[in-house]
């Protein structure tokens, strides 16, 4: 029995003229222990898919079975409890509560579970040790680097021992080194048996995944199993903006129709030069 089973799930916003289809009859089955990367251009419905799988949102049409139980029509409170017990969220912008210490942030899911102060502090601390933030327990989130903040967020997602970790662009706000740190952490979590689903724009990060799902216009356009350590076959070809020629584009001029891949080429060029600078710096330090 599959852990996650979406069947013909659609999510429709608005009505009448303003209707927009965020998910268009998506069917997706994810087995326990998979490490799934979801790729696709902006507005392709990745986040909506994450929200539906993470039970933050209910599908408009279609059914969702989690662990064999139909959860697509549960009430808000029931879903809150499922989220609390089964699902850990990691966000692009970390979403740590700024007024709580790192330790308090990590133990927050346990608060909602009703665990005693001493037990939850103990657990949260263990989890912080695990992500390498034992020394930062009493810091406030603003005092952490991006990588550390995301590690704390991972600790928070893990503290309730959920089966499923959902990460919506976990490395979106991080530099390369921090991204590596966060992804290594996630693959450790995966190795310990969790199912992880993450959204990314960075094809390199599909190396960590066992499966890559490509989305466009609210549909899954391609779904492949990859070996760990290998970049998904189509990952580099994902178009991050969909080139469409419309009247507006004509008015906007040629630049609006320029293929995105060229832009990507430029971006990579930038990255390379950044790497070069780093290497140069290192050399300077060695001297």
Partner 1 sequence: MATLRYGNFKMAYDSVRSHKGRSALTMLGIIIGVAAAVLVVCAGQGVKNEIAGRLNGFGRDVMSIQPTGNAPYLTGQDVSIVQKTGGVEEVVPLAHVSGNARGDHMVSDPMVIATTTGFPDMVNQPFMYGGFFDDDTPSVVLGANLARKLYTNTDPSGQTLTWRGQNLVVAGVYSNFNAPPFSLESDFDNSMFVSYDLTQKMSGDSLSVYEILARAGNLAEAAAKVHTNLVLAHGGADDVEVSSALSTADQSDDTIHLITMLVMVAALVALVVGGVGVMNVMLVSVTERMHEIGVRKAIGATNQQIMRQFTAEAFVLSTVGSVVGLILACAGVGLMRLYSSIQAVIVWQVLVVAPVVAIVVGVFFGSIPAVKAAHKDPIDALRGLE
The footprint of partner 1 (CB under 8 A) covers 51, 54, 56-57, 76-77, 80-81, 83-85, 89, 91, 95, 97, 99-100, 108-109, 111-117, 156-157, 160
Identity of the residue, 76 or 285, whose beta carbon is nearer to partner 1 in the bound complex: 76
Q: What are phi and psi of 179, to 5 degrees?
A: -60, -45
Query: Nearest-CA neighbor of 60 among 28, 17, 29, 14?
Result: 14
Which tokens sit at 56? 């933050």
Identity of the residue, 149 or 238, whose beta carbon is nearer to partner 1 in the bound complex: 149
Beta-carbon count within 10 A of 251 CB: 8
Identity of the residue, 10 or 210, whose beta carbon is nearer to partner 1 in the bound complex: 10
CB of 160 to partner 1, least distance (A): 7
Identity of the residue, 130 or 156, whose beta carbon is nearer to partner 1 in the bound complex: 156
CB of 83 to partner 1, least distance (A): 5
- Sequence-separated (6 or more) residues with CB below 8 Å from residue 216: 40, 41, 44, 242
CB of 157 to partner 1, least distance (A): 8
Answer whether 106's CB lies under 8 Å from 152's CB. Answer: yes
What stretches of the chain adopt beta strand conformation (E)?
A: 4-13, 20-30, 35-39, 61-66, 69-70, 87-90, 164-168, 195-199, 211-216, 219-225
CB of 25 to partner 1, least distance (A): 21
Answer whether 221's CB lies under 8 Å from 44's CB. Answer: no
Identity of the residue, 2 or 56, whose beta carbon is nearer to partner 1 in the bound complex: 56
CB of 95 to partner 1, least distance (A): 5
């Amino acid at each position: 029995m599959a852990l996650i089973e979406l069947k013909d799930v659609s999510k429709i916003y608005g009505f009448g003229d303003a209707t927009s289809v965020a998910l268009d009859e998506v069917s997706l089955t994810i087995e326990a222990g998979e490490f799934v990367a979801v790729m696709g251009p902006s507005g392709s419905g990745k986040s909506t898919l994450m929200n539906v799988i993470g039970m933050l949102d209910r599908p408009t049409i279609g059914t969702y079975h989690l662990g064999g139980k139909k959860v697509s029509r549960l009430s808000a409170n029931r879903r809150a409890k499922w989220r609390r017990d089964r699902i850990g969220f990691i966000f692009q912008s970390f979403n740590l509560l700024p007024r709580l210490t790192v330790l308090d942030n990590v133990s927050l899911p346990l608060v909602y579970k009703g665990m005693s102060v001493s037990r939850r502090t103990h657990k949260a601390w263990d989890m912080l040790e695990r992500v390498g933030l034992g020394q930062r327990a009493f810091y406030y989130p603003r005092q952490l680097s991006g990588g550390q903040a995301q590690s704390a967020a991972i600790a928070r997602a893990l503290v309730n021992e959920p089966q499923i970790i959902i990460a919506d662009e976990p490395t979106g706000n991080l530099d390369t080194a921090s991204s590596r740190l966060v992804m290594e952490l996630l693959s450790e979590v995966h190795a310990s048996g969790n199912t992880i689903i993450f959204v990314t724009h960075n094809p390199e990060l599909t190396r960590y995944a066992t499966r890559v799902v490509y989305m466009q216009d609210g549909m899954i356009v391609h779904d492949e199993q990859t070996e760990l350590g290998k970049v998904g076959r189509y990952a580099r070809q994902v178009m991050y903006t969909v080139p469409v020629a419309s009247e507006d584009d004509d008015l906007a001029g040629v630049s609006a129709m320029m293929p995105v891949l060229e832009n990507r080429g430029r971006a990579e060029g930038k990255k390379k030069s950044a790497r070069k600078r780093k290497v140069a710096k290192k050399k300077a330090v060695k001297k």
